[in-house]
Amino acid sequence: MTKVVVVGAGPAGIAAVWRAAQSQAQVTLIDPHPRPGGQIWLHADEAAAPKEAKPWLDKLDRLPVTRHFGSTVIDILPSVVRMQSESGGLEYVEFDKLILAPGAQELFLPFPGWTLPYIMGAGGALALLRGGMPVKGLRIAVAGSGPLLFAVAGKLAQAGARIIAISEQTSRRRLLGFGVGTLMHNPGKILEGIRHARHYLPSPFYTNTWIKEARGDSRVREVTLTNGKRLHRLKCDLVACGFGLVSSGALAVLAGCDQQSGSTVVDRFQQTSVKNIFCAGEITGIGGVDLSVIEGEIAGLAAAGNESEASRCFPKLEKQRKFARWLNKSFALKAQLKDMPDEDTIICRCEDITYGQLKNLADQCSAKLYTRCGMGPCQGRICSNALKFLLGWDLNTVRPPVFPAKIGDLISTP
C-alpha cells in the first residue's frame, strides 16, 4: 500500500486524505491543532463547526487514517518527515508520497505604531475571539485588504464590538467589479458574504484607504487612516489588520520545491518539482476554500496513483482558478502601501530592526548578515513576507527546524 502523509488538516488536507484513503492508500494526517479544520473550518468544539465543514469532518471521522493532531512538522528528509508530537518528543513518519497542505498566513504590513498592544492581525483577532477574548463595547478598526476584512468585521460586530471603520485599500471600482465577478463565477460566495452583512453593514466603510499611523500608550488609543490625501483620525481600542494572505511556503522551500511569485509551483496533478512531493491548497496560491478542496482531492488521488480519477476534477479546478485570479486582481496591493512604514518603524520584531536600517540593503541575505533581520525566534515568518512586498526581497533560504524545537527533541532518533 502506498504510504501517503498529509501535512495540514485544513480543507485541502482533509480533501486529500479522503481521496487518498478512498484510493486504498495508507494515510497519515498531521496538524498542530487539537482538531481538524485549518483556517476556516477549525472549531473550538464539535457544535461550533461551521455547516459547510460538517460533511467533510464527518467523512474524515469515518476514514481509517492515522491522525497526529497537536503535532507540527519541522523538517522533511528523503521519505521521512520529522514532527514535534503532542507529547513533546520528536517523531518520524515515513512516506512514499507527501502532500503538503499547510495553507497560508496573513500578510501583515508594518506602519508607525503597529507594535502597540491591541494591534493585531485580522486572523489573530478572530483566533482570540474564538478563544474567548471579550470584545463587547470595544471600538475596533478593521483595516487592510481582501474579503477577509468583512468576515472579521462581521464576527467582531456579532460578538458586540463597535466597528468604527472598515478600511479597504483597493478602490471602490475594483471592489464592485469583484462583487459582480463573484456573482458570475461563484454565487455561493456572495451568499456567504451577505450572511455576515447585517453585522458589519452599519459600520463606516472606506475604500482606497489604509492606515497611516497608530498612537497610544500601554495600548492603542487612536488610528489615523488615509487615502494619500485626506486623514481620518479615529479613537479606538483595538485594530485588526490584514493585507490578504500569502502562501506558507517554508516546508516546500525546505524540501527544495520550485517557487514562483511566492507560491509553490505544481503541475496538473499537484505534483511539485520534487519527486513524490505534492502540494495542495493555499500553499500553491491564494484562492479560497473551494479551490483548496479541489486541489486537495486531486493531490490525494494522484498521490495514491489514481490519476484518471484525478483528471476528472480538472474542469472544476479551472473554474475555481479563474475565480482565484479575479480575487487576486481585485485586491492587488497598491504601490502606495510601500510607503506605510517610516524610518523608525520596526520591521523585525524579534531583533528590533527598523525600516531605515533595511531599506538600502540589497537583499534578504544582506539583511541577515548585517542586521540579523529575520534571524530571531520567528525565523522571519512575519517580516519576510512584509519585506517581500516592501522591498521585493525573496523568501530567504529555509533552515530546519522550520519551527523552533527543543534540543532534547532534536537528538532523539527514529
Partner 1 sequence: MTSKYDAIVIGAGIVGASCAAELHRAGLRVLAVDAFKVGCGTTGGSMGHVLVMDDSEAQLNMTSMSRNIWNNLAESHSAEIEYNPCGTIWIAADDEEMEAVHSKADNYGKHGIAVQVLDQEGLYSLEPNLRPGLLGGLRIIDDCVIYPPYSSRLFLEPIELRENCRAVQVLDHQVILEDGTKLQGEYIVNACGAAAPDLTPELPIQPRKGHLVITDRYPDFCRHQLVELGYLKSALKMEKESVAFNIQPRLSGQFLVGSSREFAGWDDGINHSILQRMLARACSYMPKLRELLAIRSWTGFRPASPDKMPFIGRWPKVKGLYIAAGHEGLGITNSTGTARLLADEILGRTPSIDPDPFRAARILE
What is the binding site for partner 1 (CB under 8 A)? 77, 351, 362, 365-366, 369-370, 372, 375-377, 379, 399-401, 404-408, 410-411, 413
133 binds, among partner 1, ligand FAD, none (CB under 5 to 8 A by kind): none
Distances (CA, A) of 295 to 13, 52, 57, 191, 203: 9, 17, 17, 23, 36
251 with 72: CB under 8 angstroms?
A: no
Copy the grid coordinates of residue 57. Answer: 469532518
Quote the least distance from Cβ 72 to ligand FAD, whole Å: 4
- Contact residues for 321 (Cβ-Cβ < 8 A; gap 6+): 287, 291
Answer with the entry of partner 1, ligand FAD, none that 39 interacts with (C-beta below 5 to 8 A by kind). Answer: ligand FAD
Q: What are phi and psi of 265, to 5 degrees?
A: -80, 130
Is the CB of 89 or the CB of 228 nearer to partner 1? 89
Distances (CA, A) of 389 to 80, 212, 268, 295: 34, 17, 28, 26
Choose between 126 and 141: whose C-beta lies nearer to ligand FAD.
126
DSSP state for residue 271 in the 8-state scheme: B
Q: Which amino acid is at 287?
A: G
| Run of H or E including 231 | strand 231-235
- Complex with partner 1: residue 198 or 399, whichever CB lies closer: 399
Of these partners, ligand FAD, partner 1, none, which one is at the site of residue 183 (CB under 5 to 8 Å by kind)?
none
- The residues of the shown chain that bind ligand FAD, judged by CB under 6 A, are 7-13, 30-33, 38-40, 72-73, 101-104, 123, 126, 148, 151-152, 192, 248, 251, 281-282, 288-290, 292, 402
Q: Give the one entry of ligand FAD, partner 1, none that residue 8 binds, where binding means its C-beta sits below a cut-off of 5 to 8 angstroms depending on kind.
A: ligand FAD
CB of residue 282 to ligand FAD, shortest distance in Å:
4
Decide which of ligand FAD, partner 1, none touches 370; Cβ closer than 5 to 8 Å per partner kind: partner 1
Using CB atoms within 10 Å of the CB of residue 119, give its burial: 0 to 12 exposed, 13 to 18 middle, 19+ buried: buried
Q: Least separation, in Å, of the C-beta of 218 and ligand FAD?
A: 28
Shortest gap between Cβ of 73 and ligand FAD (angstroms)? 4
